[in-house]
Chain A
């Protein structure tokens, strides 16, 4: 039976700072000269005690499963021998419904599928539909969508941070992260009118341009938010309890991680520098200056570090996007998807007919198919759409990153302790709405 040794040096709880003021990471166990000692398997000392394995059931209603995940664990003492995940308790038939809706009508469903990343999903879906229609969006719309996607990454990582802290035993960061979320909510609400379920994009543009003074609010948020990240960083990164509960847990090597199809912070923590924004760019991401954090050990602690760094990088991107936001129209002038202005629709017969047909029949893309992937906070989120020339897709497929990430959980928890299952599960950052769809 594989066991893990996790030694926590209490002195680690003191913070060391590098020249930029960020906490430095020192190895857990050091020898006399201060160089790191690799953690090794301790010898099996206890005699093999005969005994029965025990089955325990976590979920589908359990606060630490982040929704309605269900895990059946076979335990030998406190060590997990086998883990059987059961999903599907939130299967709501998104993909089936998408076949009965026009492209613009699908956008509200994308809100509710990964509900931590609503506005990012709106952007992803609109990008896919626009490729299917062959539409180019305007420069202003591109930058607005980058702002939307990065804000969405921030609020999604904040929920991950808060819930993970609760799972591991710290309540305060939950309150901090929800305070920051309220600030983002305020921004989103003044932009699109909703806090959580935004439905912000349309095929060919956005539902609305940002209101006056919105960028000032965004800049104020960016400035304050960096302080919050630093606070959380100070509280957790060198915290003995936090380190002890996360280091060396749920390790995935780079090859395993890629082979299991992991994506997002899960993959990058294992040392694979795959980020859709960098490798298959969209929304002009190649023109932004940002780094993709990559871990080395692929454990829960590295995933935490990667996500914290992603928060900082998102702030960087937001700052650049705020500086470069051009003037100009938000929506394209492609008549296949854009409604005529209301004033014309009420006075001009052709415009009115056009408006009516757009709304009642919906825009029709040419026959074709496309798979558009974006880097969602959970990983590679893809929308695969197949059109047969009618106004409703033949197939609307969501490539759910956390579904694939979660499928590796038996591999990650087997051999660890029961309490570590919670930490590993939290580190995957699952959203059941996206997993079960």
Chain B
């Protein structure tokens, strides 16, 4: 049914939240219901375990990952939040998981790629835009900005809307970057442009590891 007159607070919570609290206890930090959508704040260390349980448990069956993203608030003291939107197609449920990454700690969280293949690009984008590292992701590198982009992470609040440099400087950098070097990744290990690649990329290419794109 199309939701009508949803209250901001006090709508019934998704039953999964109670199941999670019963199963994982302390790892469930908080449950919020805002505008009828249930948000479960979970402990960073146990994220993958919780997601795997949600996916596998026959009572939950969250078999569809809608989105992975992050939120940085304007308040510079407030923690960054990584957000997962999960859906259970058989049970028609919607659940939002959140992990708080307090300021001053490493921006790292486990990847849910082993459970949902669809997380691959979504996590790469989140890394590209926020600089959050997803440990266990098979190929975490920039996806929207080019790989040699060194100005920072665009969606962070300390990143100016128009970039850190002047437009002319940004354009000069973009044109001066050897396009072939960033067009072809590992296939270029034999090409002249190999020397132009960033260090970590060269290491990866040298080791011969497939990036699993």
List chain A positions with a Cβ less than 8 A from chain B: 55, 57, 70, 72, 74, 82, 84-88, 91, 93, 95-97, 100, 131-132, 134, 136, 256, 258-262, 272, 274, 279-286, 366, 368-371, 373, 380, 382, 384, 386, 388, 390, 394-395, 397, 399, 403-404, 406-408, 410-411, 436-437
Contact = CB atoms under 8 A, between A and B. Distances in A.
Given A131-B35, A261-B65, A88 B116 contact: no
B63 A136 contact: no
Interface string B56-95: 0000000111110101111100000001010001001010
Contacts of B146: 88
Contact of A286 (B2, B159, B185, B187): B2
Given A72-B184, A260-B118, A407-B120, A95 B129 contact: yes
B154 A370 contact: no
Nearest to A286: B1
Contact of B183 (A70, A260, A386): A70
Given A286-B1, A394-B74, A280 B8 contact: no
Given A134-B35, A258-B64, A74 B187 contact: yes
Contacts of A272: 89
B140 to A, nearest CB: 14
Contacts of B8: 134, 366, 368
Contact of A91 (B85, B117, B144): B144
29 contacts: A72-B184, A72-B187, A85-B213, A87-B143, A88-B142, A91-B144, A91-B145, A134-B6, A136-B5, A256-B117, A258-B89, A260-B118, A261-B66, A261-B116, A261-B118, A261-B119, A274-B89, A281-B2, A286-B1, A286-B2, A368-B8, A370-B37, A371-B66, A380-B66, A382-B67, A395-B69, A399-B67, A399-B85, A404-B122
A53 B143 CA distance: 25
Contacts of A390: 74
B2 A284 contact: yes
Contacts of B3: 282
Contact of A132 (B35, B75, B121): B35
Nearest to A404: B118
A95 B67 CA distance: 15
A368 B33 CA distance: 10
Given A96-B161, A261-B64, A397-B67, A384 B143 contact: no
